[in-house]
Structure 1
């Protein structure tokens, strides 16, 4: 932890987490200045003025330079010129989640991965509620850690969704329990199109963990298991818990499936937790998410009865394979949170009915051909939207019987209705970010839901 009293700190990025960390630092006695290369929302400006925090927008002036350290929002790339100025000057650059952790009083349970982070973090919240355990739920999930950290005590667990961008600039951030769900190509535009750079960012979640801590990981992901093999060589490595829905992890404690039952293996002793048919959320990927959740609960000393109840009753999160409505016996599914290829692959894997798939948005360096096998089996119509339309058309037009484009979500949904037959489903699972047309994936999902409800 760095003493912030009377320190001159510049916060780059005035979205939700930027405002939250600026406010936190001001309360802790720092001299804070907020800068944003774009326009700052009116309500954010009002909040900054109320808290007497000076700011600038639409570019960085000299006022943004010369501070003692820099705090950056997840949306600000490391390669941004202002960030590089501080790094080249040998000054510290910290993420909002790192700074918030300095003022956290209880254990941290941190979830990262390319897909499933939001589902698992919400599932943890559901489990902790069932256990009547004192906790906060924050991070990349939509509620900044800096806004919630004041509520923590020694008995409060902080359940955090953590992105690679937030991990890029940690220093002392130390979860008691960390979870790494998977590592697949995503956000490569922020990592010089280099998958290894992106994976290394995810692995930083264990950076400060010791033998008193837990690392829960996906045993079926070769990128992660290669990392674990190296991690185990460290004298002070965290205790490991592996999860798999395909195989029993060799010699490791963890969770796996045998004879249609979830098996927990703790301290080398196996116990049957429950039948997989009792897990409320469908899909192989959600079974894995449930296994990870169960292990995090056990590592946090929550008993099996509570874990069973949580796995039986958790219904999932908005914008993640969310059934919007059924109209004329066609199901409309909102999976707006699927912002990369792997997430779409999992979504398609969850269906056994013919599909109309709405794809597109702002491309992140996607290789859509990775979806070809799933699409050939299940999708008869693709409707492409957003900036990625030409790329999707180039890679997938010949794969489906019907390929269409739409100018907006309303048109896409209307076209989907025309081609979908009874017993089928229309799936919005974009594989792209939303920023070409919408504020975020929630805005995109809500526009899809509005369009569906207008049918």
Structure 2
């Protein structure tokens, strides 16, 4: 474990929100000289005042480059891009820039199960946590799932493990952070507006195993050719998972009847509640990570027989006058929507749209064969309409937002159809978060009931 004596004394925390506030608190409690800079925060905010009372210097309302004077380390909010003026200037001055999760390496030596991937992180993180809990293992949840890693690390006991969902934004800013079990689900072109290019994005994801040792584990998707190549250089023990290959000697896999871990049958497929091939991949990854960390077959079986999905990820909202309604607002990229579409064999009315990141949506076309109608909204509505027309979809309507889209989509669906919100885009053009977008959709559906 690193010690705080090794950590620089004068630190800038750039951007507050939950992770920045947690980082500032732990740094102040560790005796560091902390400056906090946030353009949106107010001097009247209670958490900000609390930081000031602990000794932090506050620079709010703007991002002057003068905040870097005397600074030896920048801890930035993961959502702040590297072309931000303060970040770019810090790098120009050779000041290290990290994210909050790096601080965990200074707080605890307890085992960390770190989970990343372009899609499936939240589902897999939740599955692993519940599998361990149902196996009477002591475990805590943290990371990109909404709970600051440093807050959790400070409260860990000697017999506890932490399961962390980790984004590429967080992983790009680590130096020594090391999970004892790393899970790499998949790599797909995403967040290029943040990372600049695919190579940088892949490198950030692969940071999850860069500090691992020979006694650590790396669970990876053997069906992803990019990962198959990248994991060859790891020092950790490689444990593969695959929904298509027999991994009798090397990891977690499935045939037409069961899920297996090496040669051990874990659970019949017919007992698993979650639908979709992508969820089978998440399940296999979770089984591998959970078994490596002490989960019992009974604990795993209990979870897989009862777990129906996380909120906003192919969440079954219910029947609306005979229409099966699903909220997949967490589908913030094309791959997630592809997987959602491939999960159903019935006719689908697809609701999609959101922030325009500059990409096209042609990759959706082969997956639209069950879509009978589309409702598009947000900045990307024209692009999605074009793709829908090229796929031969005859009915494409525009909506002002997801509440309007829910009503329009219902009018286009017949009894027995799937009404699916799966935007294929981030939410920030109209909504603060994908959660807000999903909640508004669900509320609209309940209103129509």
- TM category, shorter: over 0.9
Partner of residue 61, structure 2: 58
Partner of residue 142, structure 1: 146
Task: Kindly state the Cα deviation for residue 280 of structure 1 after the two structures are TM-superposed.
Answer: 2.0
- Is contact 1:8–1:31 with CA below 8 Å preserved after alignment? yes
**1:402 correspondence with 2:395:** yes
Listed as ranges, the matches of 1:350-361 within 5 Å are: 350-361=343-354
Task: Kindly state the Cα deviation for residue 97 of structure 1 after the two structures are TM-superposed.
Answer: 0.5
Task: Kindly state the Cα deviation for residue 329 of structure 1 after the two structures are TM-superposed.
Answer: 0.3
**1:387 correspondence with 2:379:** yes
The SS at the match of 1:363 is coil
Between the aligned partners of 1:49 and 1:425, the Cα distance in structure 2 is 52
Q: Which runs of 5+ in 2 are unaligned?
A: none
Between the aligned partners of 1:135 and 1:345, the Cα distance in structure 2 is 33
CA-based RMSD? 1.9
Between the aligned partners of 1:80 and 1:367, the Cα distance in structure 2 is 26
Partner of residue 234, structure 1: none
**1:19 correspondence with 2:21:** yes
Listed as ranges, the matches of 1:247-262 within 5 Å are: 247-249=245-247, 253-262=250-259
> What CA deviation, in whole Å up to 9, does each residue of 1:184-235 have, x standing for no partner?
111011122x21221111111110101100000001001101112344xxxx
Partner of residue 3, structure 1: 4
Deviates more, 1:320-329 or 1:39-48: 39-48
The SS at the match of 1:158 is strand
Between the aligned partners of 2:195 and 2:64, the Cα distance in structure 1 is 27
The SS at the match of 1:197 is helix
Task: Kindly state the Cα deviation for residue 37 of structure 1 after the two structures are TM-superposed.
Answer: 3.6
**Residue 217 of structure 1, aligned match among 204, 212, 220:** 220
- Is contact 2:350–2:421 with CA below 8 Å preserved after alignment? yes
Partner of residue 329, structure 1: 322
Between the aligned partners of 2:53 and 2:376, the Cα distance in structure 1 is 44
Task: Kindly state the Cα deviation for residue 63 of structure 1 after the two structures are TM-superposed.
Answer: 4.8
Pair 44,336 (structure 1): closer, same or farther in 2 beyond 3 Å:
farther
Between the aligned partners of 1:68 and 1:259, the Cα distance in structure 2 is 56
Task: Kindly state the Cα deviation for residue 44 of structure 1 after the two structures are TM-superposed.
Answer: 4.4
Between the aligned partners of 1:46 and 1:453, the Cα distance in structure 2 is 40
Partner of residue 169, structure 1: 173
- With normalisation by structure 2, the TM-score equals 0.94
Task: Kindly state the Cα deviation for residue 27 of structure 1 after the two structures are TM-superposed.
Answer: 1.6
Pair 100,286 (structure 1): closer, same or farther in 2 beyond 3 Å:
same
Task: Kindly state the Cα deviation for residue 84 of structure 1 after the two structures are TM-superposed.
Answer: 1.6
**1:240 correspondence with 2:224:** no
Task: Kindly state the Cα deviation for residue 252 of structure 1 after the two structures are TM-superposed.
Answer: 5.1
> What CA deviation, in whole Å up to 9, does each residue of 1:304-350 have, x standing for no partner?
23222222222221001111221110122110000000000110011
Pair 439,293 (structure 1): closer, same or farther in 2 beyond 3 Å:
same
> What CA deviation, in whole Å up to 9, does each residue of 1:223-259 have, x standing for no partner?
101112344xxxxx1001110111124x851011134
- Is contact 2:65–2:89 with CA below 8 Å preserved after alignment? no
- With normalisation by structure 1, the TM-score equals 0.93
The SS at the match of 1:87 is helix
Partner of residue 264, structure 1: 261
Between the aligned partners of 2:46 and 2:443, the Cα distance in structure 1 is 25
Partner of residue 28, structure 1: 30
The SS at the match of 2:228 is helix
* Alignment: residue pair count: 443
**Residue 79 of structure 1, aligned match among 80, 83, 91:** 83
The SS at the match of 1:381 is strand
> What CA deviation, in whole Å up to 9, does each residue of 1:108-166 have, x standing for no partner?
00000000000011111111210222221000001110221111133210100000111
The SS at the match of 2:199 is helix
- Is contact 2:365–2:387 with CA below 8 Å preserved after alignment? no
Between the aligned partners of 1:50 and 1:425, the Cα distance in structure 2 is 53
- Is contact 1:97–1:145 with CA below 8 Å preserved after alignment? yes
Task: Kindly state the Cα deviation for residue 28 of structure 1 after the two structures are TM-superposed.
Answer: 1.5
**1:446 correspondence with 2:439:** yes
- Is contact 1:341–1:367 with CA below 8 Å preserved after alignment? no
- Is contact 2:406–2:444 with CA below 8 Å preserved after alignment? yes
**Residue 123 of structure 1, aligned match among 123, 127, 130:** 127
Partner of residue 285, structure 2: 292
Partner of residue 89, structure 1: 93
Between the aligned partners of 1:252 and 1:357, the Cα distance in structure 2 is 41
